Amino acid sequence: MNRLFEGLPARAFLLLAILAAALLVAPWLVNDYLLSVLIIVLYFAYVGQAWNLMIGFAGQLSLGHALFVGIGAYTSAAIFVHFGIGPWATVFIAVLASVLAGSIIGYLGFRFSIRGVYFALLTIAFAEFTRIMVDHTEWLGSTQGLFLPVANRESIDLLNLRGSPMMFYYVILGMTVAALVLCRLLLNSKLGYYWQAIREDQDSAQAYGVNVFRYKMIAVAISSGLTGIAGVFYAFYYNNLFPETTFATSRSIEMILGTVVGGVGTLFGPIVGAFFLTPLGELLTALTDDIGLDGIKPFFWGICVAGIVLFRPSGLWPWIAGLLGLDKPAGGEGK
């Protein structure tokens, strides 16, 4: 516990407590629509955190993280559909499958010292390759899609993860908090320092005796495993899976947008980014719905994202943290 809160200023505690309380009571105060938006926000905060671990902590750029969502989602959904085994049992298989895929990509990439842009393209290639393979796999529903039996949205069946949006809200909230805690602990551990050394200068880290290959592999494994869990949630929340919408590169981009906007390499960046971008998208939908012109929403959305990259390149969180006075004592985030 000490390591978790070490070095945080008093006002950070206060703000964290207010935020936690707000998130806990939120589902009782909002309507169905806002609840669904909050679930999506938390989902992106969670996957952003998982992606951030690889790029923000260990400096390895993945542009194919939709692959791990897809593997987690398809593994758990296929087992549920074909054998009726619920997600709490299959989440381990899903994580295992995602970690395996991540490790294969990591092993191949790092063994052959593929770095930077080339590594990013390797991740895209694997994701797209898998998408086409799932397209041709009858057992996974191929292009027709894989559908989970529609759940009763009134009841709560936590065991099979079938039930009301409120249940999904608390599940994803729990996952997001757990990921935040895990990342905070990892970042301040020895492992985290090795990662940051590799991120800043891989060659120097190697020269100082850091086993670069090993720690990069650990980063990919943890990141892909965490993302695989998000896939399980995705499958059971949406109840339908299509290769095109699950594995596509545009999904990978969507996953990382929030984190880059929020602040790569910071702990709160993924959360702030998700809380900013998803509502922004919804707001634009509401504003542009009346105009009824195809493409007007993504147009403004693209301009907002480009504007943030151009004018706040380190992300929103370091800036907000500065405004709130949270950046004074080094608490692990902010560099």
Partner 1 sequence: MPVEVYFNVAISGLLAGLIYGLSALGLSVIFGVIRIVNFAHGEIMVIGMFFALVLFRSLGLDPLLSVPIVAVVLFGFGYLLQTVVIERVAHLADHYQFLLMAAIAIILISASLMVFGPDAQGAQLPYAFDSFQIGPLIIDKVRLYAGAAALVVAALLFAFFRYTSTGKAIRACGDNPAGALVVGLNVRHMYALTFGIGAACLGAAGAIILMVVDAHPYLGPEYTLLAFIIVIVGGLGSLPGAMLGGVLIGTSEALAGILLQPSLKSAFSFGLLILVLLLRPQGLLGKASQ
Binding site for partner 1 (CB under 8 A): 55, 61, 63, 108-109, 112, 114, 116-118, 120-122, 124-126, 128-129, 132-133, 135-136, 249-250, 253, 256-257, 260, 264, 293-299, 301-303, 305-306, 309-310, 313
Query: Least distance (Å) from partner 1 to the CB of residue 329?
Result: 26
Half-sphere exposure of 187 (CA within 13 A, CB side): 28
Cβ closer to partner 1: 27 or 56?
56
Using CB atoms within 10 Å of the CB of residue 49, give its burial: 0 to 12 exposed, 13 to 18 middle, 19+ buried.
Answer: buried
Query: Least distance (Å) from partner 1 to the CB of residue 5?
Result: 30
Cβ closer to partner 1: 114 or 156?
114
Tell me if 261 sits within 8 A of 252, measured CB to CB: no
Cβ closer to partner 1: 133 or 158?
133
Measured CA to CA, the distance from residue 162 to residue 160 in angstroms comes to 5
Query: Least distance (Å) from partner 1 to the CB of residue 154?
Result: 37
Tell me if 95 sits within 8 A of 72, measured CB to CB: yes
Half-sphere exposure of 318 (CA within 13 A, CB side): 17
Query: Least distance (Å) from partner 1 to the CB of residue 229?
Result: 23
Using CB atoms within 10 Å of the CB of residue 15, give its burial: 0 to 12 exposed, 13 to 18 middle, 19+ buried.
Answer: middle
Query: Least distance (Å) from partner 1 to the CB of residue 306?
Result: 4
Cβ closer to partner 1: 101 or 173?
101
Query: Least distance (Å) from partner 1 to the CB of residue 227?
Result: 17
Measured CA to CA, the distance from residue 189 to residue 177 in angstroms comes to 18
Which residues have a Cβ under 8 Å from the Cβ of 1 and sit 6 or more positions away? none
**Residue 146: what are its φ and ψ, rounded to 5°?**
-110, 125
Query: Least distance (Å) from partner 1 to the CB of residue 118?
Result: 6
SS3 of residue 163 by DSSP: strand
User: Which of these, 125, 100, 80, 109, lies nearest to 228 by C-alpha position?
Assistant: 100
Cβ closer to partner 1: 63 or 73?
63
Cβ neighbours, 10 Å, residue 314: 14
Cβ closer to partner 1: 161 or 212?
212
Half-sphere exposure of 25 (CA within 13 A, CB side): 6
Measured CA to CA, the distance from residue 332 to residue 3 in angstroms comes to 10
Query: Least distance (Å) from partner 1 to the CB of residue 259?
Result: 9
**Structure letter (DSSP) for residue 150:** P
Measured CA to CA, the distance from residue 127 to residue 216 in angstroms comes to 19
Cβ closer to partner 1: 147 or 300?
300
Cβ closer to partner 1: 191 or 312?
312
Query: Least distance (Å) from partner 1 to the CB of residue 308?
Result: 9
Cβ closer to partner 1: 76 or 252?
252
